A and B are shown apart, each in its own frame.
Chain A
C-alpha cells in the first residue's frame, strides 16, 4: 500500500508538522511546506528504529492522563520540597521497591517509567530483564507497598486503557 510505504508513521508525521510550526512560531506557506517535507523524510529515515506501530487510544483518555500527572507533579513537588527543607536527611526513609508490570507494550512502559520519574519523590532506576517489573526508588516511603499500589492504580491502569 502506497500510503503505508511513504508514511509509515502517520501520527509521528502529524506530530512533526505541529512541532515544526510551533518552533517556527508562525503559520505561513513556507513553514508549513517545510514541515510537511520534514514530516515525510524523518519517519522514512528513522523507520527501522520503529518497526511496530504502537496503538494509541482515545484522545480524551490521554488528556485525562496528562492532567492527572500534572496535578500529581504539583502536589508531590510541594510535599518533597517540605521533606527536603524540614526533615533531617537521616530521618528520611528511602526505599527501593519493585513495581510488577501488567503493561506489555514498550511505549506504555516507557511512558509509565517517565511518569514515575517526573513525579517528584519517585525515580525509575531500572527495568527487569524480561520487562515485567520496574525498580523504583522513593525518597521517603514509610510504607513502600502504598507507593506501588498508588502507581498501579493511578498511572498503570490508565496507560493500559490508552495503549492496550
Chain B
C-alpha cells in the first residue's frame, strides 16, 4: 500500500514537472508574445495542479496531517493568472498591434477597450506611433 501511494505521488510530480517544462519550452519556442502567453497558462493549471495534489497526498498519507493549503493555492492561482495574462495581452496590443489591420472587428459600434479613447479616423496607421504614446503625456 505504502508503495502504491508513493508511486502515485511520484507519477503526479513527474507529470507536473513535465507540463511545467513544456510550458517553459513553449515560452522559448513560440514566435510572438500573444502565442507565448499560452504557455504559462498551461504550466499553472495542470503543472502546478498535479504537484499540489501530490503534496496534499504526501502530507495526508505519509505524515498523517491533512493540509488544505494546496487547494487555496489553486484557487488563488485561478483567480490571479487570467488577470496577469489579460494585462500582459493588453499591454502588448497597446504597444505593438494596429487595431485596424490586425484585430477582428468587435461587431458592435464601439471598439476594443484598449484602444477606446478616440475616433477610428484619428488612429495613426503607423504601429510604432500608437496614440498611447500621446496618452502617456496626458498623464504627466
Contacts and interface: CB of A to CB of B under 8 A. Distances in A.
Interface of A: 19, 22-23, 25, 73-74, 77, 80-81, 84-85, 89-90, 92, 94, 96-98, 100, 113-114, 116-118, 120-130, 132-133, 135, 137, 139
Contact of B106 (A94, A116, A121, A133): A133
Contact of B19 (A81, A113, A129, A133): A81
B86 interface: yes
A128 B105 CA distance: 10
Contact of B38 (A80, A90, A133): A80
B107 interface: yes
Nearest to A95: B104
B82 A135 contact: no
B60 interface: no
Contacts of B89: 123-126, 137
A123 B22 contact: no
B132 interface: no
A85 B103 CA distance: 28
A126 B82 contact: no
A96 B108 CA distance: 16
Nearest to B78: A118
Nearest to B75: A19
User: B-side binding surface: helix, strand, loop or mixed?
Assistant: helix
B34 to A, nearest CB: 5
Contacts of A137: 34-35, 37, 89
Contacts of A120: 38, 41-42, 45
Contacts of B111: 128-129
26 contacts: A19-B72, A80-B26, A84-B39, A89-B35, A90-B31, A92-B35, A96-B104, A120-B41, A123-B37, A123-B41, A123-B85, A125-B86, A126-B89, A128-B111, A128-B113, A129-B106, A129-B113, A130-B108, A130-B109, A132-B110, A133-B106, A133-B107, A135-B103, A135-B104, A135-B112, A137-B34
Interface in B22-64: 22, 25-26, 29-31, 34-35, 37-39, 41-42, 45-46
